[in-house]
Amino acid sequence: MSVSNAAIAAVFEEIADILEIEGANPYRVRAYRNAARTVSAYGTELAPLLARGATLPKMPGIGEDLAGKIAEIAATGSCALRERLHREVPAAIVSLLQVAGIGPKRVKLLYHDLGIETPEQLLEAARAGRVQRLHGFGARTEARLMEALQRQLAPGRRYPLADVAAQGEALAAALRGCRGLRSITVCGSVRRMRDTVGDLDLLAVTRTPATVMRRFLGLPAVGEVLTRGPTRATVMLRSGLQADLRAIAPEAEGAALVYFTGSKAHNIAIRRRAQKRRLKISEYGVFRGARRIAGATEAEVYAAIGLPPIPPELREDRGEIAAAAADQLPRLIERADLRGDLHVHTIGSDGTADLEAMAQAARRAGLQYIAITDHSRSTRVAHGLDEARLLRQLDAIDALNARLDGVVLLKGIEVDILADGRLDLPDRVLGRLDIVVGAVHAHFDLPRRRQLLRLQRALDHRHFHVLAHPSCRLIGTREPLDVDISAVIRSAAQRGCGLELNAQPQRMDLLDTHCREAQAQGVPISIASDAHGPRDFDWLHYGVGQARRGWLRREDVVNTRTLDELRQWLGARSSQASSEHRRRGP
């Protein structure tokens, strides 16, 4: 597997972070940050290009030195400078940067003034009240840090799917080609596409487990070995994530896949079903007495207990076994069904690329249309658009649509839902847009009743189409809004609005169970990347995974429609809303 532009950018970001912690020249720090941004926004993957022997394309701000580093990282995943920096500062210190609310400047202060190197030490110092005395911290910051740290250091911490899946894929890729290895699969909650993951579960199919185990334990990503046996091992990865590896013989591959994919509740339910047929299911196969009657493939295992194969995303013991037995499993949505993306940012607000770069990236991602939905003015940190800037963007979209082939840009906005439920831009502006996506970005802690009224008032708005990231949770950092989501879903149904399933790794919002509720109410779902850069369309894959966990079919998802069908829905929503508006009076 080659090193992605995002991975190259991440190395540059890390170098910039450490240089900043060390107090390096700000220009030097900025050069690495700019390089990170340029590389991650670049439309073509660089590593395969370089591997073919091509020279690096000219990129703004990338001189000879940085170009050399890009080549080094593309070839090896790292570079000499980064390795040296890792030797100079305690490696753990970089993990301090992952604590919400502290950047390099603060890490530097904590290290120099208090000798703090790890999140654990920081929590201890905060509890002792030593942090608030530092320049630029204060009691409120200390309290916020303490809260973030307690969450981060809590046992049973769960990680966003996309992050863990990438690590799992990298491990699997590093093992592929190992002698005697027939296949390697990431199982567990990752294969079920659960939004958060506790640990990685890898399944290796081989007749020579010892060779595979040795290779696995020697991988650079593997830190501490926690337990090991002839066919299993548990390790702590350097990233801080735990991983299990199990080796199994080819004739048991299917049974082992079923077992290690889980969920545990699903396994227990199918075991019960097997028992009724006097069969025994384990990771080694399906047995009648001592005789193995199935096990090589998953389909064979399910067939042995009278079921069609059940997609991994449904294996939660939430009715999938009864549905399978009645031959009523839904035909789940697939990534290829998505024709568009209704939530995309550009440099107009806090994105990293311009309209055209996002349009081209969308086309490469197989999309036929995208809605440009930059932030509105209230979201100041994101440099939200006011009326004048939005109108200029609309002209730019017209001009671009006139010369673009293969992808159409829709005019939209991610408009702030203000504390009282009003929208952040006047009607005369919203009325000119193709699509209005509304979202909460502040006042997360209103009383439960008021929060619902706020969202309902927004949904009532005649120009409103889709409620973005409805719960507003951020995995590991922000709890969901305290609001009756079922009531929000019913309100959306009554008003003909859609709900978004936001596929950003930290969001994954709507939840799977709420997808199912929305489906039952006939609320269209928009699976959206909320892309802030060209590579972010990759996240749609995880959004589709979550939709599948919510039993959604192609017809439940509004951005599977053709552009004409979509426009019809958007238009119908506006005219329905305005007639209701007239009925109810202004």
Contacting residues toward ligand DGT, per CB under 6 A: 188-189, 194, 197-199, 201, 259-260, 262-264, 267-268
Give the nearest distance from C-beta 201 to Ca ion in angstroms: 5
Among residues 17, 201, 300, 500, which is the contact residue for Ca ion, using CB under 5 A? Answer: 201
Q: Which is nearer to ligand DGT, 195 or 374 (CB)?
A: 195
Q: Which is nearer to Ca ion, 188 or 470 (CB)?
A: 188
Q: Which is nearer to ligand DGT, 264 or 380 (CB)?
A: 264
Q: Which is nearer to ligand DGT, 263 or 401 (CB)?
A: 263
Q: Which is nearer to ligand DGT, 43 or 198 (CB)?
A: 198
> Please, which of residues 236-255 interact with Ca ion by CB under 5 A?
244
Give the nearest distance from C-beta 257 to Ca ion in angstroms: 14
Asked if 188 interacts with Ca ion (CB under 5 A), we say yes
Q: Which is nearer to ligand DGT, 11 or 186 (CB)?
A: 186
Q: CA 164 to CA 540: how far, in whole Å? A: 16
Q: Which is nearer to Ca ion, 188 or 254 (CB)?
A: 188
Element housing 412 (H / E): strand 408-416
Task: Dig out the tokens for 306 from the structure.
Answer: 């009278």
Q: CA 132 to CA 138: how far, in whole Å? A: 4
Which residue in this structure is represented by tokens 């390096």? 24
Query: Do you find a cis peptide bond into 499, omega within 30 degrees of 0?
Result: no
Q: Compute the C-alpha angle 526/532/534, nearest 5°.
A: 95
Alpha helices (runs of H) in 408-502, residue ranges in sequence order? 427-430, 448-460, 485-495
Q: CA 424 to CA 79: how far, in whole Å? A: 46
Give the nearest distance from C-beta 315 to ligand DGT in angstroms: 8
Give the nearest distance from C-beta 155 to ligand DGT in angstroms: 12
Element housing 214 (H / E): helix 209-217
Q: Which is nearer to ligand DGT, 190 or 436 (CB)?
A: 190
Q: Which is nearer to Ca ion, 245 or 492 (CB)?
A: 245
Shortest Cβ contact with Ca ion: which residue? 188
Q: CA 175 to CA 169: how far, in whole Å? A: 10
Residue 391 interaction partner, one of Ca ion, ligand DGT, none, beta carbon < 5-8 Å per kind = none
Residue 262 interaction partner, one of ligand DGT, Ca ion, none, beta carbon < 5-8 Å per kind = ligand DGT
Q: CA 188 to CA 257: how far, in whole Å? A: 9
Asked if 530 interacts with Ca ion (CB under 5 A), we say no
Secondary structure class of 369 (helix, strand, coil): strand
Positive or negative torsion for Cα 77, 81, 84, 86: negative
Rama region for 305: left / alpha / beta (φ>0; ψ in -120 to 50; rest): alpha
Residue 78 interaction partner, one of Ca ion, ligand DGT, none, beta carbon < 5-8 Å per kind = none
Give the nearest distance from C-beta 267 to ligand DGT in angstroms: 3
Give the nearest distance from C-beta 158 to ligand DGT in angstroms: 7
- Give 232's strand partners: 246
Q: CA 24 to CA 517: how far, in whole Å? A: 53
Residue 519 interaction partner, one of ligand DGT, Ca ion, none, beta carbon < 5-8 Å per kind = none
Q: Single out the segment in contact with Ca ion by CB under 5 A; choices: 22-30, 188-196, 246-254, 535-543.
A: 188-196
Q: How many residues bind Ca ion (CB under 5 A)?
A: 4
Secondary structure class of 44 (helix, strand, coil): coil
Q: Single out the segment in contact with Ca ion by CB under 5 A; choices: 3-11, 198-206, 249-257, 366-374.
A: 198-206
What mask, x for binding Ca ion by CB under 5 A, covers residues 147 to 186?
A: ----------------------------------------
Task: Dig out the tokens for 317 from the structure.
Answer: 């013991």
Q: Which is nearer to Ca ion, 195 or 244 (CB)?
A: 244
How close are the terminal C-alpha atoms of the chain, in Å?
58
Distances 493 to 460, 518, 523 between C-alpha atoms, Å: 11, 8, 5
Give the nearest distance from C-beta 394 to ligand DGT in angstroms: 44
Q: CA 533 to CA 201: how far, in whole Å? A: 30
Give the nearest distance from C-beta 188 to ligand DGT in angstroms: 3
Strand ranges inside 114-260, DSSP E: 159-160, 181-186, 196-197, 200-206, 222-228, 232-237, 242-248
Applying CB under 5 A, the residues found at the interface with Ca ion are 188, 199, 201, 244
